[in-house]
Structure 1
Amino acid sequence: MSAEAISFFLPEELNASMPPERRGLRRDYVKMMVIDRVNGHTSHTQFYQLDHFLKAGDVLVLNASRTIPAVLQGQLEDGTVVEVRLAHRKSERIWEALILSNTVKAGDKIMFSPLLTASIFTTETDNPFAVLEFNLCCSELYDQIYQIGQPVRYEYIKTPWELDYYQTVFATSPGSVEMPSAGRAFSWELLFRLQKKGVKIAYIQLHTGLSYLMDDKWHVEPRENMEEYTIPEETAQAVQKAKESGNKVIAVGTTVVRALESGADHEGRIRAANGWTNLYITAETKLQVADGLITGLHEPEASHLDLLSAFVSPELLKVSYEEAITQKYFWHEFGDMNLIL
């Protein structure tokens, strides 16, 4: 059974259209479904009780990438207004981007502000993304993006929530186009309580690319989605120590799983690394690093479900998702949480 087979009907009212804070909840008080990897047994609690499920010596690995406001409005030299959605950072000046216009061509220049412009390198009919070179780089480029951009919002989001709602409390390094949402439910209070218990908090960085292309004619396969990741030396050492001592390594989000598994050698040892990954994890993948996963709830037939199937069988996963629907869990980035352990 693959993600295509994990099909279910998701009632529209279970698409979380607002942050939990706007529903009167602290971000760490969302619901959490706990799935036993071995037998599929489920239990239900709230996310702030996560520390009850982890032990001293376990390592919790978070993605420290910070969400950028990746939707930019600009003008061509003839005055035509275009919307640009940043997709993947290729270098300090160069980005792949989705340009919502049928008239742009290579060589065109887009003006976003008096300080920020971009030249279009390439546009291809069989590729949704154009290549842009900005006139600014590094912190100067990000300063402009943060001043003029808006966060990527999905069709079930009816209110233009501010960028702060799309950030995790611990994110430090800007670069994710879509929020690494599995970490959103963490509060500093919960992180401190976990540390007090003896759970090691470690960080990787993987800048998420653009997956929401707004048009059914475009479909990017997971193996086509190259994303940049970094595993610091401190994290590699903490993870390796946990593996050698029999403790668990819990990945917070599919991005963390992909980074950790990409950084492991053929013997399963993990080292500090900096590179690009298009690793596609399925039920047939033998995980070498991650022992457990904290994630949100994913839509029917999503490729993320293939990755979850590496932790728990697709058959058991489908049953647990149907239970989450019965229990009125909320889906997506502002929704409830799932711990697979």
Structure 2
Amino acid sequence: MNTKDFYYDLPEELIAQDPLLNRSSSRLMLLDKETGEIEHKHFYDILDYLHPGDCLVLNETKVIPARLYGVKEDTGAQVEVLLLHRKDKEHWECLVKPGKKLKPGARISFGDGRLKAEIVDILEEGNRLIRFEFSGIFEEVLDQLGEMPLPPYITHKLEDRTRYNTVYAKEEGSAAAPTAGLHWTKEQLEQCEAKGIEILRITLHVGLGTFRPVKMEEVEKHHMHSEYYSVSQEVAEKIEACKKRGGRVICTGTTSCRALESAARESGKIEAKSGWTDIFIYPGFSFKVMDALITNFHLPESTLLMLVSALSSREKILHAYEEAVKEKYRFFSFGDAMFIH
């Protein structure tokens, strides 16, 4: 299977640059995963397609303002640091620019010295281990100095940083948003529960893989970066009960899917589990837990496009994407939604 098999042509003007005023007013494409049949709705219609007894899985991860701009203390040269994974109170694994100038021992100042840092080590694929120096609480300093780590295809400034988090975000630790969840409003989730749809909450912290394109020509040779996830005993038990009563497990986003499938045994039974996963889902994968998926429209040749193709088929997904382009859907993080059922 070649990476180029997952290419599609996307006009640049269809890349959503700003979130809509109302989260749930985005468009919603319904795709029957078996027949390929397509319907066009809006996200506020989603409850019409969720049934009593279904389980709706949400990823509670919260994006932190992880992008920092500073200067090298010795030269004054401008640098950019993206926090990826906290190692302990002072140390983080980070992406840095420009990498050539930030070698072990290099010191950086942010916010006129409110936050300082030293490069400790060079890690896998050029990431840096950085030790931060600060007074008070790191999260408060970061909240004042950091910016939300928007993807490179979004060039507009985000006026309201809460719009790059879901309304249910709780567990801090992501370098990017689980964007399928950006469509949900608190009112809609309350309506789900009132309808008899059980809402389950898991965590997967979106990490480095979000920023890495698939460079391998053969899909099977691509290696995913590890991301931390957690599925509780309560969630595992409720999913088992959902399956027994004939309900569907509906994931909001590919991150929820990856967490559940990482916690599943070969038998299909899901376990309470937390740890690191590098699960890579592409066509041929046998889903053990997830039955349906709410997702956004993903980048050409991306691992996310491969994942949604595994749930239906590459041909049906690419046909749906062609239809979305023709109908001028909005693409990527702040774009429209798709329900594959």
Normalized against structure 1, the TM-score is what?
0.91
Residue 134 of structure 1 and its aligned partner are, at CA, apart by 2.8
Q: Which deviates further from its counterpart, 101-110 or 301-310?
A: 101-110
CA contact (8 A) 1:222 1:278 kept: no
Provide the secondary structure at the position in 2 that maps to 1:264: coil
Provide the secondary structure at the position in 1 that maps to 2:70: strand
Q: Which amino acid aligns with 1:159?
A: H
Structure 2 gap ranges (5+): none
2-side partners of 1:93 and 1:295: how far apart?
35
User: Aligned to 2:65, which of 62, 69, 74?
Assistant: 69
Residue 7 of structure 1 and its aligned partner are, at CA, apart by 1.7
1-side partners of 2:95 and 2:162: how far apart?
23
Residue 135 of structure 1 and its aligned partner are, at CA, apart by 3.8
Q: Which amino acid aligns with 2:82?
A: R
Aligned to 2:184: 186
CA contact (8 A) 2:63 2:177 kept: yes
2:44 corresponds to 1:48: yes
Residue 46 of structure 1 and its aligned partner are, at CA, apart by 0.6
Q: How does 1:1-341 map to 2 (within 5 A)?
A: 4-21=4-21, 26-78=22-74, 79-101=76-98, 102-113=100-111, 114-123=113-122, 127-135=125-133, 140-161=137-158, 162-211=160-209, 223-341=223-341
2-side partners of 1:255 and 1:216: how far apart?
18
Provide the secondary structure at the position in 2 that maps to 1:19: coil
2-side partners of 1:202 and 1:216: how far apart?
31
Deviations 1:144-173 (A, max 9, x none): 211110112334423211311211111011
Residue 232 of structure 1 and its aligned partner are, at CA, apart by 1.9
CA contact (8 A) 1:88 1:227 kept: no
Q: 1:11 to 1:57 in 2, by over 3 A?
A: same
Runs of 4+ in 1 over 6 A off after TM superposition: 214-218
Q: Which amino acid aligns with 2:41?
A: T
Residue 177 of structure 1 and its aligned partner are, at CA, apart by 0.7
2-side partners of 1:269 and 1:164: how far apart?
36
Structure 1 gap ranges (5+): none
CA contact (8 A) 2:214 2:302 kept: no
2-side partners of 1:294 and 1:3: how far apart?
23
CA contact (8 A) 2:260 2:270 kept: yes
* CA-based RMSD: 2.5
Matched residues, number: 334
1-side partners of 2:114 and 2:17: how far apart?
34
Q: 1:249 to 1:141 in 2, by over 3 A?
A: same
